[in-house]
Amino acid sequence: MAFNASGQTATDLINSGLIKYNAGDNTGAMADYNQAIALDVSQAEAFADRAAVEINLGSYSAAVTDCNRAIELKPGLSIAYLNRSGAEIDLGQFSAAMTDATEAIQLDPTSDGYANRGAAEEASDTTSALADCNKAIELKPGSDMAYMTRGNIKIDLKDYSGAITDYSKSIELNPRQYLAYYNRSRAELALGNYDGAVADCTLALGIKPALAQAFLNRGLAKLDKNDLDGATADYNQFISLGTDPTEFSKAYNNLGLINYRQKNYDAAIEFYTKALDANPTTDTQATAFDNRGDAKKDKKDLPGAIADYTQAIAITPVANYYLDRGNAKYASEDYNGAIDDYTKAATVDPTDSTAYSNRGLAKSQKGLYDDAIADYNLAIGINAKDSIDYEYIGTAKIAKKDYAGAISTYTQLISLDTNEPSSYGHRGYAKMKNQDYAGAIADYTTAITLKPDFAQGYNARGWVKDLQQDYDGAIADYSQAIAIKADYITAYSNRGQAKVHKGDNTGAVADYNKVLSLDAQNSSAYWWLGDINYNTHNMTDALVDYRKVVELSPSSTYGYLRIYLIRARLGEEAQATVELKTFLDSQTNSIPEWGTKVGNFLVGQTLEDTFLASAKDADPVVNADQTCEAYFYAGSKHLFAGDKPTAIAYFQKSVGTNVKTYSEYLSAAAELKALQP
């Protein structure tokens, strides 16, 4: 009998190795088994037990080789078949594993053979796998492997709570079973218990520091907890430990997601590209293409985003990818293309209400309001409690000038949640458009009562009060909106208008200057400053203001119309005509039809009677708006020609429309005041 330097026999070393193995000392166990084999190469148990250590160390092929040798030496050695089946499972050789596990069961029904066979069957037959695990537990209630394997099967069956119970039992039986901690973290992730998942991955890593998958899982849990720095560290650790580069794609994809959330779009795109390079498998590629498309879309690279979404669709034509591409086309103003993609998304998944909602938005952009409303109703049919589609219907009805219909829709919206302030705000707007000012104020007041810091509610109510000529009330509401939101540009601008209406030009100028201090590129503020200067006959400064308007908004038709009026008034009518005509010729396809008619009249291409007649419209609101403008511009031409009586008559007709929010109304009133002091 052979002994080592310490006087141990091969049998002693095998027993010592088993003790160390059970204590989690794989290195010590491996050393003992190596010495045992060196002393007695015929020791089948030494080869079989060394295979168990090699499985723990991830050396699965070496484990199979050792089990083969053990079986050669001792064909009836159950543990050799059992361990070989375990190594084959890790190698993905499930058929061979089932055969070996069955042989282990026949040799020793109380072994973990049922558990291993269950693990081998898991991928193909969960029913048989579950039955084998139950049998393993019945025969050997203390088998931690049986409970862990059954937990894995329950995860496959989406019984996450049941899986956690089994993993917990496995851990109770073997507190050093790191795979049970790791697998329990998978179930906890599925249930949204991210803290539990992080804790279990940390415990698994405490036992096996090089368990790469635990870093990956912990990173995912931290990402869901929005611990972006912690997730980044774990993903990088996973990549440094990972042995299978194709698995890196998961980490790269999530690193891309982290950077995307941080709006580091270039870095996100780089990581998504690495994910694509790391793993060419279809599902992984489709996800990475879709995610990279998101980053490109938010970076405003819409063609690049559409190309990536197209790649994702070519691999896996799921509804979400069509939706994403449709959204990119919508952002590109390719509404027909967007409608096509939203239709495909709805075809793939008819239960996805978003496809119908988004298709409705695209149709609204094309002016197809009835078709859009039909789509929004389809979305409501799928999800009747989704308030956004009621909002979309209301918006479409307002665009159709069906204000009563919009009010009805917003009333339905309110019925979904009577405590939602924005719903009252929407209905208040529809009532204002329907000229039910008292009703609008009542709705805005309700919204403000529900949400006292609702700055938009105060601003909107102020606008209605302005329409009612309650300028002090309007100014008070705008001031309250500003008190809530100190950088509320719209409220400053609206308060400036209310002050103009009240005759407080000094206060209005202060508000418009405040707007410009918040946004130096705000062309509207220059417009209103220009109006104040124009209406007080400070034409030189007014010209500077309107020049700034067209500099910031080169397609501003009304900016050029005012420039024409000032230059004509200053004796530069010929030059003004050339400038306005040049603008009109350069904007043939972008100027609204009415704006073109005004411009053509001012430059002498349309007779006055024809121009005034063209202002008439069947819609009483449009008729009043265009008539107000038409008589102001016609009156201005007569004034510049020295025909004051006709100018006065036309300015009176402009003011008579009572369109008090229009610049032309205010300017006509100012001209009358100057002509008839």
For residue 488, which phi and psi values (nearest 5 degrees)? -80, 90
How sure is the predictor about 353, in pLDDT bands with cuts at 50, 70 and 90? very high
How sure is the predictor about 590, in pLDDT bands with cuts at 50, 70 and 90? low
**What's the CA gap between 29 and 281, in Å, rounded?**
39
pLDDT of residue 1: 60
pLDDT of residue 386: 84
Average pLDDT, the chain: 94
The Cα-based distances of 634 to 262, 532, 576, 580 in angstroms read: 56, 20, 16, 16
pLDDT > 80? residue 592? no
pLDDT of residue 283: 73
258 in helix, strand or coil? helix
Encoded amino acid at 414, one letter: I
Helix pair angle (144-156, 113-121), 10° resolution: 20
How sure is the predictor about 481, in pLDDT bands with cuts at 50, 70 and 90? very high
- For residues 232-253, give the mean pLDDT: 86
pLDDT of residue 448: 98
Tokens of 615: 């202002």
DSSP letter string over 148-168? HHHHHHHHHTT-HHHHHHHHH
181 and 155 Cβ atoms separated by less than 8 Å:
no
How sure is the predictor about 625, in pLDDT bands with cuts at 50, 70 and 90? very high
pLDDT of residue 593: 86
User: 134 burial class (0-12, 13-18, 19+ CB within 10 angstroms)?
Assistant: middle
DSSP letter string over 312-337? HHHH---HHHHHHHHHHHHHTT-HHH
DSSP letter string over 322-375? HHHHHHHHHHTT-HHHHHHHHHHHHHH-TT-HHHHHHHHHHHHHTT-HHHHHHH
The dihedral sign for the CA sequence 176, 177, 178, 181: negative
Lowest mean pLDDT among 110-114, 220-224, 473-477: 110-114
**What's the CA gap between 515 and 510, in Å, rounded?**
9
Could you say which DSSP state residue 605 is in? S
- For residues 583-592, give the mean pLDDT: 79
Residue 481 CB-half CA count within 13 A: 25
Q: What is the pLDDT of residues 447-465, one digit of tens each?
A: 999 999 999 999 999 999 9
282 and 316 Cβ atoms separated by less than 8 Å:
yes
Q: What is the pLDDT of residues 641-673, one digit of tens each?
A: 999 999 999 999 999 999 988 999 999 999 999
528 and 493 Cβ atoms separated by less than 8 Å:
yes
The candidate with the shortest Cα–Cα distance to 626, out of 588, 586, 664, 675, is 664
The candidate with the shortest Cα–Cα distance to 359, out of 384, 377, 376, 381, is 376
Tokens of 34: 């190596």
**What's the CA gap between 497 and 475, in Å, rounded?**
9
Helix pair angle (455-467, 421-433), 10° resolution: 20
The Cα-based distances of 311 to 267, 307, 338 in angstroms read: 20, 6, 17
**What's the CA gap between 152 and 284, in Å, rounded?**
23
619 in helix, strand or coil? coil
pLDDT of residue 76: 94
**What's the CA gap between 11 and 7, in Å, rounded?**
11
**What's the CA gap between 423 and 412, in Å, rounded?**
9
The Cα-based distances of 168 to 23, 201, 512, 643 in angstroms read: 19, 14, 67, 97
Chain position carrying tokens 């000392």: 25
The dihedral sign for the CA sequence 324, 325, 326, 332: positive
- For residues 127-150, give the mean pLDDT: 91
pLDDT > 70? residue 573? yes
CB atoms within 10 A of CB 469: 12
Burial 579-617 (b: 16+ CB within 10 A, else e): bbbebbeebeeebeebbbbbbbbbbeebeeeebbebbee
pLDDT of residue 346: 97
pLDDT of residue 591: 67
pLDDT > 70? residue 265? yes
**What's the CA gap between 252 and 279, in Å, rounded?**
10
DSSP letter string over 627-653? HHHHHHHHHHHHHHTT-HHHHHHHHHH
Tokens of 534: 């124009």
319 and 345 Cβ atoms separated by less than 8 Å:
yes
For the chain, counts of helices (H) and of strands (E): 39, 0
Could you say which DSSP state residue 247 is in? G
pLDDT > 80? residue 327? yes
pLDDT > 80? residue 245? no
Dihedral, 373, 377, 378, 381 alpha carbons, nearest 10: 180
413 and 394 Cβ atoms separated by less than 8 Å:
yes
User: 228 burial class (0-12, 13-18, 19+ CB within 10 angstroms)?
Assistant: middle
User: 625 burial class (0-12, 13-18, 19+ CB within 10 angstroms)?
Assistant: buried
What the chain holds in terms of domains, given with CATH numbers, is 521-603 (1.25.40.10), 607-677 (1.25.40)
Burial 24-35 (b: 16+ CB within 10 A, else e): bebebbbbbbeb
424 and 391 Cβ atoms separated by less than 8 Å:
no
- For residues 94-103, give the mean pLDDT: 95
119 and 152 Cβ atoms separated by less than 8 Å:
yes
**What's the CA gap between 283 and 263, in Å, rounded?**
25
Rg (the chain; Cα; Å):
39
Q: Tell me which of 41 and 245 has the higher pLDDT.
A: 41
pLDDT > 80? residue 586? yes
**What's the CA gap between 143 and 116, in Å, rounded?**
11
- For residues 435-439, give the mean pLDDT: 96
pLDDT > 80? residue 631? yes
The dihedral sign for the CA sequence 240, 246, 252, 254: negative
**What's the CA gap between 184 and 163, in Å, rounded?**
7
